[in-house]
A and B are shown apart, each in its own frame.
Chain A
Amino acid sequence: MSYRKVTPVLPPIYGDACSSAWRHGFVMDRVFTSASLRDRYAMGIWMVFIHVLTYRGMNQNKLPGQSDTTPSFRTFLSTVFSYRVRSGMAAWILHRVTGLSLVLYLAIHIMGLRSLGNPLAFEAYITGYRNPLFKFAEVMLLGSVAFHAFNGLRIFAQDMYFRSERQKPLFYAVLALTIIVTIIGGLPIIFPYFITPLLP
């Protein structure tokens, strides 16, 4: 197999904190340099994205005389559906995706709040966010923050106390807490928009 090992940089006293993916049970210590098809197929859900992104370009770096490696569409689909989502993998991907979305939102949020310099502009800015679509997005935002926070605390706790053998039940606890908090916090947000109008 053609892959390069990423060597952990931190001493063991920090847990396995050097590579977030590791601790989540997702084998990311294979960084594919020139992956063969079989190697590509060896990894998890994360590779689905890579697949979709690179499907059409797979032969771009083909050497002269090398055979065509683009899989048939059926092979492609069956591979994509053959991945199993393990909780560690899901936790890692969700933590990363929520973290990155929150960074993007934070930047937009800070730039938007410049309207606080002028009361009229601020009311207009807030009105822009007050429509059903954005109320739904607000609840999604709460969900992202809740998941990221609970999962972050789980990572923290695991680094300190449990290491990974308790990972699965803890992850389910994170999911349950996220759902509970999102529903409890989300209801007051969506009530005036989606529920009050339905009441007689």
Chain B
Amino acid sequence: MSQHYENEGSAASRSKAFVWLMQRVTGVGLVLFLVLHFWVQHMPTGFLATAGEYSEILKTLSEASPEVVDAIADGKIKEALPGEHVITYSKVLERLRTPLWRIIDILLLLFALLHGMLGLMNVLGDYMKRVRLRKAVVFCCWAVTLFLAGQGIVVIMAVGMK
């Protein structure tokens, strides 16, 4: 079966092939990172505070700052339910003291952003056929990607660095 391909071998075609490859590479990487991420942040493991530990943490925070007392009184910060495991600052800090975790988190961030934004550009490209509009949209997507990557990296690196 012989078929004709528009732009065969052109720069546009090569770039599409590269995006296609990146989607696979980042996709497979994300499986690994997301399993880890889910295990650490959403499952009842030692990476989260138990209800008892969280109560202690809130007590210590309250002693250090009256703001926390107010926040608890206002319901802005709530005690854990029995059996609940809570994400909390000190546990995150404890984990990120290991440089490997910082690297893993940054890789997760970059993989997810790259994969997601390339996917988004692919979807938008399906519905936008006008070349200049498409270019403008791709430009905006890259701007957003860079912005979010910057935000995320700064946040991850800044934890506990003060």
**A124-B76, A192-B82 are contacts. A106–B6 as well, Cβ < 8 Å?**
no
Q: Which residues of A contact B9 (CB under 8 A)?
A: 11
The count of residues in chain A whose C-beta lies closer than 8 Å to any C-beta of chain B is 49
A176 within 8 A of B: no
Q: Mark A123-147, 1 if CB is under 8 A from B, else 0.
A: 1101100100000001000100100
A170 within 8 A of B: no
- Chain B contacts with A in 26-40, Cβ cutoff 8 A: 27-28, 30-31, 34, 38
Q: Which residues of B contact A12 (CB under 8 A)?
A: 3
Q: Which residues of B contact A123 (CB under 8 A)?
A: 58, 61, 68, 71, 77, 88-89
> Closest residue to A160 on the B side, CB-wise?
B24
Q: Which residues of B contact A116 (CB under 8 A)?
A: 89, 92, 155, 158-159
Q: Mark A85-128, 1 if CB is under 8 A from B, else 0.
A: 00000000000100110110011001101101101101110110
The interface-forming segment of A14-22, A37-45, A60-68, A75-83 is: A14-22
B98 within 8 A of A: no
Q: Which residues of A contact B5 (CB under 8 A)?
A: 7-11
Say yes or no: B155 contacts A113, CB within 8 Å: yes
B140 within 8 A of A: no
How far is A166 from B130 in the complex, measured between Cα atoms in Å? 36
Q: Which residues of A contact B95 (CB under 8 A)?
A: none
What are 23 residue pairs bridging A and B, where the CB atoms are less than 8 Å apart in the complex? A7-B5, A9-B5, A9-B8, A14-B17, A20-B122, A99-B119, A99-B120, A107-B144, A110-B155, A117-B155, A120-B61, A120-B77, A122-B89, A123-B61, A123-B88, A123-B89, A127-B78, A145-B38, A149-B30, A153-B27, A156-B28, A185-B43, A188-B85
B contact set with A: CB distance below 8 Å? 3-9, 12-13, 16-17, 20, 24, 27-28, 30-31, 34, 38, 42-44, 58, 61, 65, 67-68, 71, 76-78, 80-90, 92, 109, 112-113, 116-117, 119-120, 122-123, 126, 129, 144, 148, 151-152, 155, 158-159
